[in-house]
Amino acid sequence: MRETLKFIAWPAIAGLFAALLILDRYVLPETRGVEAVAPASVSYAAAVRSASPAVVNIYTARLVPERRRPLLENMFSSRFAPPQEQRQRIEQSLGSGVIMTSEGHILTNNHVISEVDAIQVLLHDGRLAKARVIGTDPATDLAVLKIDLPHLQPVELGDSEDTRVGDVVLAIGNPLGFGNSVTQGIVSALGRWGLQRNTYEDYIQTDAIIHLGNSGGALVDTRGRLVGINTLIYTAGDQGRATSPTGIGISLAIPVNLAVFVMQDLIDYGEVIRGWLGVSVEPVRRIDNGTPIGQALVVAAITEDSPAQRAGVKLGDIITHLDGEPIQDGRQTMHQIAMLRPGDDIDVTVQRDHQTLDLHAIVGTMRQSPSI
């Protein structure tokens, strides 16, 4: 009997030890590891810490005529008091800006500093400085200011060409005068246009809330790199507002690549020098055997002695390609040509009388906004 139990017990004990060994080596460590690792919290503190020193608060003031007093009060005053000069009052406003260079160049919106008499800039570290206007570009609603202070920290630049719908973005600015604040959202759409606020519209749309005072502030990615300049809130009721006290509407920002292009020209030349061909165009769909194959531009007007005319472009020509790239839409083409420099070469492919012609143009300096 004892021998029989021996043969039964030893295999059972060995099996138990094997099971414990397997649990200890392969199962228990994995379970302990899962329990020990807490889920990582999502934070953008590093991005905010990196970008915030470059975001400034802008305070403006201008003198405006004071409204006349009621007629009875005027009659009483004129009888018992000597005539006085027209009174004025100070009208104050606020906005935001972004330090772009260590020399003190600040990028903001033109509507933030338009027609003001004094501009004060409050830095993230508490320093206050008087700012002067280097240049403005109403066509893109951008302006460049300059302050003279040491130890400035410019923002790190991103690339708006790499921005994608769905990317997380942070809006940093001076909403309602409270000082630097941050809101978070995603890129909702790219290339928004048709608001007719500016000649050149190519907005980044986000759902990051911006309020009155955010105009000119920074739109940054999750690494703190600048991807846009917060500009306006679009609402259906008023067909687009530069500011909104409530933050209700569609938030729009100017892409950083366009903003930097404008800024550099304002610093170098005091104005933006845009390329120009001298044609007015209308969009048309290209169709091949009944199938749409893209868009093209019909030449509706040509300026006399313009680069386009000298290149051989004629009324009724259908522009299909620029520098070998197919036309996407008139707005993009306008931007593409405007970003060129006078004197640059550009190849223009047109269709005329069922023939394809490759023409060569020398870009000129823009004279009229509606044409390309």
Q: Which residues are catalytic?
A: 111, 141, 215
- 193, 18 Cβ separation under 8 angstroms: no
Helix, strand, coil distribution of the chain in percent, nearest 5? 25, 35, 40
Angle 101-107-108 from CA coordinates, rounded to 5°: 160
SS3 state of residue 190? strand
Dist CA 318 CA 283 (whole Å): 9
CA distance 169 to 227: 9
* CA dist., res. 21 & res. 15, Å (int): 10
Q: What is the dihedral of CA 94, 95, 101, 104, to 10 degrees?
A: 0
Q: What's the full length of the chain, in residues? A: 372
Residues ≥6 apart with Cβ < 8 Å to 314: 299, 302, 352
- Phi, then psi, of 141 in degrees rounded to 5: 60, 45
